[in-house]
Amino acid sequence: MPPYPRTAHTGGGLTYGLHPAEGTGVDAAIRDAIAMNRWLPAPSRVEAVTQQLRAYIGEATAALEGDTREEAVAVVREARHRVRLGAGDGYTSAITYARGLGLVAKELRDLRRGLR
């Protein structure tokens, strides 16, 4: 039960979010994007996560450019395809686009960590 029953005030704060100790940066953006099917962020947050993921995907695909493994080539190709698609019109489309970027960014991150 919320602290202030029958008022729609839940006591402030976010309904979803990361504790500051849980990290920031691309890992947080990936978690937020993938979780967007369970929470409805403000449009400005969707845009911020999308921009951060697009930048990370650009950097990660450039870093994996010379990798000849079949899996790496497929993930890089999929990542570039998703970035080119862009978000359509509306909030639902923006969330779907951000979530797709989050999923492919997670694959890229895992691939890059596997190389180290």
Buried/exposed 76-111: b ≥16 CB within 10 Å, e otherwise: bebbeebbeeebeeeeeebbbbbbbbbbbbbbbbeb
Q: Tell me the two tokens of residue 91.
A: 């909030």
Dist CA 40 CA 27 (whole Å): 19
Across the strands, what pairs with 4? 9
> What are the sequence ranges of the domains in the chain?
23-115
pTM more than 0.85: no
Per-residue tens of pLDDT for the chain, all 116 residues: 445 445 444 444 444 444 433 456 899 999 999 999 888 889 999 999 999 999 999 999 999 988 888 999 999 999 999 999 888 888 999 999 999 999 999 999 999 888 65
